[in-house]
Amino acid sequence: MCGIVAYTGDGRAVPYLLDGLARLEYRGYDSAGVAVHSGAGIDVVRRTGKLAALESAAELDALGGTTGIGHTRWATHGKPCDANAHPHVDAARRIALVHNGIIENHHELRAELEAGGVEFGSDTDTEVVAQLIGHLMARDPDLRLADAVRTAAKRLDGAFALAVIAVDDPDLVVGARRAAPLVAGTSGAAGLLASDIPAILAETRDVVVLDDDQVVEVRGPDLVVTDIDGEVVEARRTHITWDLEAAEKGGYETFMLKEIHEQPRVLADTIGGRLDTDTGQLVLDELRTDEHGLKTVDKVFVVACGTSYHSGLVAKYAIEHWARIPVEIDVASEFRYRDPVLDAQTLVIGVSQSGETADTIAACRYAQELKAKVVAVTNVVDSTMAREADAVIYTHAGPEVSVAASKTFTCQIAALDLLALWLAQVRGTLYSSEVATLVDQMHRLPDQVAAVLADLTEVEAEAAVWKDAADAFYLGRGPAFPTALEGALKMKEISYLHAEAYPSGELKHGPLALIDDDVPVVSVVTASKVHAKTLSNVAEVAARGGRIVLVANPGTDFGGIEPDRVFEVPETHELFAPVVDSVVLQVLAYYVATARGCNVDKPRNLAKTVTVE
C-alpha cells in the first residue's frame, strides 16, 4: 500500500514530509518522492529504493517551500523506477499529485487525454489523474484546484486517496478519497494530510477521517471538507488513543488480523477493472494481447510452494474446467527433479506472493530452459519472478507483513481464476458473455468476504474449544480440498496445533483410524457438485465421535448430521468459493493461535520469504 503525507504551514515542508514518510515505512514500498511549492513553481524529487535514497538527494536542501506532498510507492502499475515514482505532475507542471489505490479506468482516460495531445512520462495509473486535473485547469484557467479535483474524481473508477498541490495556490493542499484511507489534521499553524494515522500521530491525535467521495481543502490550520459536488459537509473527527505500533496495525492487535480484514479491499483491487466496458471482454492488463501464444498451449503446469501451492490447486480445477487444457501441479521443490515433460507448447504458471521463493524461481528457470512459456502470478512488482517471467499477473494485495499468508492467498485465487477465464476466452472454450457473467460474480466476492468478517462469533467460540486439542483434520472435495489444505496449514503455522487435510473421500482409506471422540474435523461443505458425497464423508466422521465443524452456506440440509459447529458463509461459484470459505479458516487459526499465546505475526522457525532451496 502506498503512503501519502502532505504539509502546509509556516515551517519548511520537507522535514515534515520525510518524517511522515518514515512513519509509513512499515507499509512496504519500492520508491519515494516529494513535491514542494517553491514560490515560483513546484519542485519534485523522486528516488527509487528506500527513503534513505530520497533523504540523501542533494536537491532536497534547496526545497525551502512551506507547502508540499510526499509519497512512498508500492508498485502496482509500472515497475519501480524514478519515472514511475510519485509525485506526478501534469504536462504544464501546473499541479503535483500523489495517489494511493488503483484507478480501474486508467487506460480509457489515458487514451482520451493522449487523443487530446497530452504526452505521458510514466506507465502509472496515477499520472493519468495528474494529467486529467492539469488538463481541466488548462481548459478553464479560472477553475480552482479543489473544483478540478472534484471534477476529475467523478471520472475515476476504482480506489483513490489523493493529495494535490498547485502552482497558482501556494498555501493549499487538496485531498480526496474513495475506498482508500485519507486523514487530515492540524498542528499549530500547519495543516496535515496522510494516508494513515501513524504519519501524523506525532503532530496530532485529533484527526479528520475522510469518507468516500469527500474532498478536503487544507490551508495551514484551516480545513474545509466537502462532498464531491463541492457542498461543505461536517468533518468526521476522531481522537486517536493508539500508540504508534497499534496505529501501524490500523488498530488491530496484529498485522495478520489487519491483513485478514483488508481482504475485501484488496480483492476489489485485484478483481476490479478487468472487464472492458466497451467490448465486454475480460482484459488482463499484463496480457493485453496473446503475444506469448498462450492460445495454443496444449499443457499447463503450476509450480508453487506452501500457501501459493494451495491457490495453484484451485487454478488447476479452474483452467481444466473453463479452458479445457490439462493441468499438472507440482510443489516447486519437486518439479525439476521428476523429469517433467514440457516443451514450447507448455505454459508454466509460477505462483508466489513474494516472487522471491528460491524453489519456485528455480522451477520457472528450469521451465524456460525447456522453452516453456512462464507466467508469474505474484504480489511484488519487479520481483525476481516478475522480471524473469514471460508475462506477469499481479495480485494487488499490498504488502503482507505477517509471515502467514492471508490476503495474498485469496488474491492469488482471484488472479488465477481470472487467468483461467482469460485462457478460456482466448481459446474460445467460453463465450465472452459467459466470461463476463463469471467476472460479474467475482465482483461480489469482496462483499461476501466482508460478510464473513462481519460476524466471527461462532469462529471465536469454536477456537476456545480447540485451545487444548492435539490434532485436527480438514476435509474438502474438488476446489474445497485446497481450502482444507490452506486451513490446515494456517492452523499449523501460527498455532503449532498439528492439523492435516485430506480429500473428503480419502479419510476412510486409513486416516479415519485417527478419529475418536472429540477430535475436531473441519469439513468444507459449501455448494458444489460433490456436496452430497462430502456430507456422507462427514457422516463417517460423526459415527466415530469426531467433533464436526462445517463450513456451509446458509440453509444447507446436513442430511441428519448434527454438527457441533457451523460456520455459515455466503454461497458463490465453487471455483470462487475458496476465496470466501478460506477466510473463516484463517480466522479460526488466528483465534486458536492467540488462545495458545503464539506470536501470530512471527511464528517460530518460519520466514516470510524462503530464499533458500
Q: Which residues bind ligand AGP (CB under 6 A)?
A: 305-308, 352-354, 357, 360, 403-405, 493, 609-610
* CA–CA distance, 563 with 545 (Å, rounded to integer): 11
Instruction: Dig out the grid coordinates for 410 from the structure.
Output: 485469496
**Phi, psi angle pair for 109, to nearest 5°:** -65, -40
Closest CA to 518 of 566, 475, 465, 476: 465
CB 333, min distance to ligand AGP, A: 10
> Residue 81 or residue 331: which is nearer to ligand AGP going by CB?
331
- 327-331 and 222-227 beta bridge pairing: unpaired
> Residue 84 or residue 352: which is nearer to ligand AGP going by CB?
352
Please give the DSSP secondary-structure letter assigned to residue 87. Answer: P
Hey, which residues are catalytic here? 2, 608
User: Helix or strand or coil: residue 166?
Assistant: strand
> Residue 235 or residue 331: which is nearer to ligand AGP going by CB?
331
> Residue 270 or residue 360: which is nearer to ligand AGP going by CB?
360
> Residue 297 or residue 403: which is nearer to ligand AGP going by CB?
403
- 498-503 and 520-524 beta bridge pairing: unpaired
CB 488, min distance to ligand AGP, A: 11
CB 380, min distance to ligand AGP, A: 8
> Residue 48 or residue 307: which is nearer to ligand AGP going by CB?
307
Q: Identify whether the C-beta of residue 600 lies closer than 8 Å to the C-beta of residue 256.
A: yes
> Residue 380 or residue 452: which is nearer to ligand AGP going by CB?
380
Instruction: Please name the residue that has the C-alpha cell 487444548.
Output: 468
**For 161, how many CA atoms within 13 A lie in the half-sphere containing its CB?**
25
* CA–CA distance, 114 with 559 (Å, rounded to integer): 61
* CA–CA distance, 19 with 55 (Å, rounded to integer): 10
Q: Which residue is nearest to ligand AGP (CB)?
A: 306
User: Helix or strand or coil: residue 89?
Assistant: strand
- What is the CB neighbour count within 10 angstroms for residue 344? 11
- What is the CB neighbour count within 10 angstroms for residue 534? 24
Instruction: Dig out the grid coordinates for 188 from the structure.
Output: 499549530
* CA–CA distance, 348 with 330 (Å, rounded to integer): 10
CB 471, min distance to ligand AGP, A: 20
> Residue 110 or residue 316: which is nearer to ligand AGP going by CB?
316
Instruction: Dig out the grid coordinates for 104 from the structure.
Output: 480501474
CB 376, min distance to ligand AGP, A: 10
CB 303, min distance to ligand AGP, A: 10
Residue type, 22: A
CB 378, min distance to ligand AGP, A: 8
User: Helix or strand or coil: residue 88?
Assistant: strand
User: Helix or strand or coil: residue 28?
Assistant: coil
Strand order in the sheet with 222-227: 88-89, 95-100, 160-166, 169-178, 214-219, 222-227
> Residue 307 or residue 526: which is nearer to ligand AGP going by CB?
307
Residue type, 555: G
CB 85, min distance to ligand AGP, A: 24
In sequence order, which residues have a C-beta less than 8 Å from that of residue 373 and are 6 or more positions away? 292, 293, 294, 297, 344, 346, 347, 348, 390, 391
CB 403, min distance to ligand AGP, A: 5
Instruction: Dig out the grid coordinates for 129 from the structure.
Output: 489523474
